[in-house]
Amino acid sequence: MKETDVGVVGLGAMGLPMARNLILKGFSVTVFDIREAPLKILEPLGARVAHSPKEVAAASSIVLTSLPSSKHVEDVVMGEDGLINGMARGGVIVDTSTIDPAVSRKLAEECRKKGITMIDAPVSGGTVGAEKGTLSIMVGGDKKDVDRCMNVLRAIGVNVYHVGDSGAGQLFKLINNMLVGINLVGVSEAFVLARKAGIDLRLLHSVIKTSAGTSWALEQKLPKMASNDFDPGFRVWLQHKDLALAMSLASQMGAALPMTALAFQMYESAKAMGLQDLDHSAIVKVLQKLSGVESS
Ligand code: NAD
């Protein structure tokens, strides 16, 4: 097997464009997802379709995973048909999902017992970054393993940061996503106040974009809120999951995070309102409801 034999398991909003970029950059790519739709897109582009994570692992030196949550990653890595039961000694699993750092460390340890390496490499930059291959990647693991995966990581991202040992990538990513969650609630409040004050939202976007109140959340998501476009993207329930992980981490560390707690409660409300599968910017709908602001 060659280092260019790469697998991808989990072909959703992020995994599908990552796999496409790997194919375009000349890797020999084997893929698996429990849904058929992404397999039908990737096969004509040259991907080999496997029937389980185990089969992907057997055909690959390096396997990327892009799965919703800790439980999904545990199943895909450790299950009977999982990666750990198909991969040859010396293989590497690169988990790009955002999950509990403790689970990352535990899985890396289980893999190590079988002569397999697992590094955590959660990504940031959204579906646009995944499509353009410009993601930021926060990697936790041994330097030699990270260096070995660098060609694969550079095929999906531009900024690759080796931030520490196993689990460290997840810690950085949770802090990033905690800020995204808080910022989106802030942008939603700006939206509601602007609507109440009769301000033109396009003009507001142009002005704040170059002022101190700007953020990725404002630049990317205020226009979507203004046009009532909540196609995902990064879904409400995934943002909720990451805020829950940040809260749990904070509790373990004895850190008080009042703004994160509030953002978490707002996302809890969004889920209770049935918004879980919309883009995370749909948090504005909760704020709209509180202030009686109709959708445009
Ligand atoms: P998604 O739900 O769109 O994709 C997940 C994919 O995993 C789906 O295609 C699903 O069918 C597949 N899957 C689930 N269980 C499986 C299994 N047992 N075997 C094989 N495939 C399985 O989610 P996403 O938005 O692509 O996010 C993936 C991960 O990346 C999450 O951890 C998320 O937090 C993180 N992330 C997402 C974004 C974003 O903008 N969407 C950005 C950065 C990080």
Over range 128-135, report the average pLDDT: 97
Q: What is the pLDDT of residue 295?
A: 81
Strands 117-120 and 92-95, how do they pair? parallel
Query: Ligand 1 centroid to 235 CA: how many Å?
Result: 10
**What value does the mean pLDDT of the chain take?**
97
CB-CB contact of 8 with 39 (8 Å): no
Is there an atom of ligand 1 within 6 Å of 50 CB?
A: no
Encode pLDDT of 70-115 as tens digits: 999 999 999 999 999 999 999 999 999 999 999 999 999 999 999 9
Among 173, 221, 241, 285, the one annotated catalytic: 173
Encode pLDDT of 203-260 as tens digits: 999 999 999 999 999 999 999 999 999 999 999 999 999 999 999 999 999 999 999 9
Query: Ligand 1 centroid to 99 CA: how many Å?
Result: 11
The interaxial angle of helices 284-291 and 168-197, nearest 10 deg, is 30
Is there an atom of ligand 1 within 6 Å of 177 CB?
A: no
Is there an atom of ligand 1 within 6 Å of 245 CB?
A: no
Query: Ligand 1 centroid to 66 CA: how many Å?
Result: 5
Report in angstroms the alpha-carbon separations of 87 from 26, 110, 166.
Answer: 22, 13, 20
Using pLDDT thresholds of 50, 70 and 90, give the confidence band for residue 168.
very high
First to last CA, the chain: 55
* Atom number of ligand 1 nearest to Cα 32: 20
Over range 286-292, report the average pLDDT: 97
Q: What is the pLDDT of residue 33?
A: 98
Over range 112-136, report the average pLDDT: 97
User: Which residue from 31, 55, 67 has its CB within 8 A of the most atoms of ligand 1, so it is best to mutate?
Assistant: 67
Using pLDDT thresholds of 50, 70 and 90, give the confidence band for residue 166.
very high
Using pLDDT thresholds of 50, 70 and 90, give the confidence band for residue 1.
confident
Q: What is the pLDDT of residue 76?
A: 98
Is there an atom of ligand 1 within 6 Å of 10 CB?
A: yes
Q: What is the pLDDT of residue 294?
A: 87
Q: Which residue is closest in CA terms to ligand 1's atom 42?
A: 126
Query: Ligand 1 centroid to 12 CA: how many Å?
Result: 5
Look at the block and give the residue holding tokens 């998501």.
Answer: 221
Q: What is the pLDDT of residue 144?
A: 97
Over range 25-40, report the average pLDDT: 98
Over range 43-51, report the average pLDDT: 98
* Atom number of ligand 1 nearest to Cα 98: 32
Encode pLDDT of 54-71 as tens digits: 999 999 999 999 999 999
Domain ranges (residues) in the chain: 5-166, 171-291
Checking if the pLDDT of 174 tops 90, the result is yes
Q: What is the pLDDT of residue 36?
A: 98
* Atom number of ligand 1 nearest to Cα 96: 30
The interaxial angle of helices 168-197 and 216-226, nearest 10 deg, is 50
Q: Phi then psi for 98, rounded to 5 degrees? A: -100, 115
Q: What is the pLDDT of residue 2?
A: 87
Percentage, residues of the chain above pLDDT 70: 100
Query: Ligand 1 centroid to 261 CA: how many Å?
Result: 24
Is there an atom of ligand 1 within 6 Å of 215 CB?
A: no
Checking if the pLDDT of 296 tops 80, the result is no
Distance (Å, rounded) from C-alpha 195 to C-alpha 214?
18
Please count the other Cβ atoms lying within 10 Å of the Cβ belonging to residue 24. Answer: 13
Encode pLDDT of 211-224 as tens digits: 999 999 999 999 99
- Which fold does the domain 5-166 belong to in CATH? Rossmann fold (3.40.50)
Over range 116-132, report the average pLDDT: 97
Is there an atom of ligand 1 within 6 Å of 56 CB?
A: no
Q: What is the pLDDT of residue 60?
A: 98
- Which fold does the domain 171-291 belong to in CATH? N-(1-d-carboxylethyl)-l-norvaline Dehydrogenase; domain 2 (1.10.1040)
Q: What is the pLDDT of residue 126?
A: 92
Let me know if 54 is a catalytic residue.
Answer: no
